[in-house]
């Protein structure tokens, strides 16, 4: 069975789109997906970047684009009441459900709950009452599985998030979603067809994957 790591932050609408369409992209392949929450803001800071929603003109386009992508691909996507927002409570809630054998992973059900909390219904992702309801839902999920649940403010959960984010930075990730398979990074919702082609054994990857990244720089802005 092949292993794919899916790095995500629920703040990203592209992560939601990719999550919803990932099963279709992987159909026919024996694949284990490991869903790994990370703090997108830490990637931006490390690379000296602003997020799409922090650049006024790009912000407007991003919301229009993701709304259209949801419509075009048949994925329910409602813009939340306010965006961006602080995703830490959601990230920590998710990692409170991680198990000792995979302490940095959220299972597909938990990942789905985190993403749909933000991108379904057009509600406030940071609303305390909604977060409390989500926490109760996830605690019940863990109880049904007979697995321990860790409080989002616990040291173990905070360390899990730091470890995941450090791991992402070590891999050179710069955005979410990012899918990592066989040492290759596939970034963004629109990379799903490329990931599928790699899994299918497309010969392009044998000659062009490395070559495409070996262009000399003509100029570098300071």
Domain assignment of residue 220, yes or no:
no
Domain assignment of residue 219, yes or no:
no
SS3 43: helix
* Tokens 């050179």, located at residue: 172
**pLDDT tens, the chain, 222 aa long:** 789 999 999 999 999 999 999 999 999 999 999 999 999 999 999 999 998 988 998 999 999 999 999 999 999 999 999 999 999 999 999 999 999 999 999 999 999 999 999 999 999 999 999 999 999 999 999 999 999 999 999 999 999 999 999 999 999 999 999 999 999 999 999 999 999 999 999 999 999 999 888 888 889 877
* Tokens 């993701």, located at residue: 66
Contact 185, 178 (CB under 8 A): yes
pLDDT of residue 2: 85
In a 10 Å sphere around its CB, with 0-12 CB exposed, 13-18 middle and 19+ buried, how is residue 21 labelled? middle
Contact 92, 152 (CB under 8 A): yes
End-to-end CA separation in angstroms for the chain: 45
Domain that residue 117 falls in: 2-211
Domain assignment of residue 217, yes or no:
no
CATH number at residue 49: 3.40.30.10
pLDDT of residue 111: 98
Q: How many CB atoms lie within 10 A of CB 66?
A: 21
CA dist list (Å): 16 to 8, 99, 120, 155: 9, 23, 10, 27
Contact 6, 22 (CB under 8 A): yes
The CA-based dihedral angle spanning residues 163, 168, 172, 175, taken in that order and rounded to the nearest 10 degrees: -140
Domain assignment of residue 69, yes or no:
yes
CA dist list (Å): 184 to 171, 173, 210, 222: 9, 11, 10, 29
Ordered DSSP codes for 32-64: EEEEEE--HHHHHHHTT---GGGSHHHHHHHHH
pLDDT of residue 28: 94
CA 203 to chain centre: 28
Q: In what order do the strands lie in the sheet with 2-8?
A: 31-37, 2-8, 178-181, 184-187
Domain assignment of residue 152, yes or no:
yes
In degrees rounded to 5, what are phi and psi of residue 206? -70, -30
Number of domains the chain contains: 1
Residue 77, H or E segment: none
* Tokens 């961006």, located at residue: 84
Domain assignment of residue 31, yes or no:
yes
> Which pTM does this prediction carry?
0.96
Domain assignment of residue 221, yes or no:
no
Sort strands 184-187 and 178-181 into parallel, antiparallel or unpaired: antiparallel
Cα atoms in the Cβ-side hemisphere of radius 13 Å centred on 165: 20
Domain assignment of residue 218, yes or no:
no
pLDDT of residue 217: 86
Residues in the chain, total: 222
């Amino acid at each position: 069975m092949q292993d794919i790591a899916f790095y995500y932050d629920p703040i990203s609408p592209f992560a939601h789109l990719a999550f919803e369409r990932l099963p279709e992209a992987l159909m026919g392949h024996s694949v284990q997906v490991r869903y790994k929450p990370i703090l997108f803001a830490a990637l931006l800071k490390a690379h000296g970047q602003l997020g799409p929603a922090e650049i006024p003109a790009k912000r407007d386009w991003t919301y229009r684009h993701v709304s259209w992508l949801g419509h075009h691909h048949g994925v329910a996507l409602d813009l939340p009441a306010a965006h961006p927002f602080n995703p830490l409570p959601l990230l920590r809630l998710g990692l409170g459900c991680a198990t000792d054998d995979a302490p940095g992973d959220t299972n597909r059900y938990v990942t789905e709950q985190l993403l749909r909390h933000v991108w379904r219904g057009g509600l406030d992702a940071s609303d305390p009452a909604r977060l409390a309801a989500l926490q109760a839902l996830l605690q019940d999920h863990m109880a049904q599985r007979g697995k321990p649940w860790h409080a989002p403010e616990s040291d173990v959960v905070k360390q899990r998030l730091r470890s995941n984010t450090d791991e992402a930075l070590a891999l050179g990730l710069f955005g979410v979603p990012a899918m990592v398979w066989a040492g290759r990074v596939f970034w963004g919702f629109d990379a799903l067809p490329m990931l599928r082609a790699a899994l299918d054994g497309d010969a392009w990857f044998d000659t062009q994957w490395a070559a495409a990244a070996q262009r000399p720089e003509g100029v570098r802005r300071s």
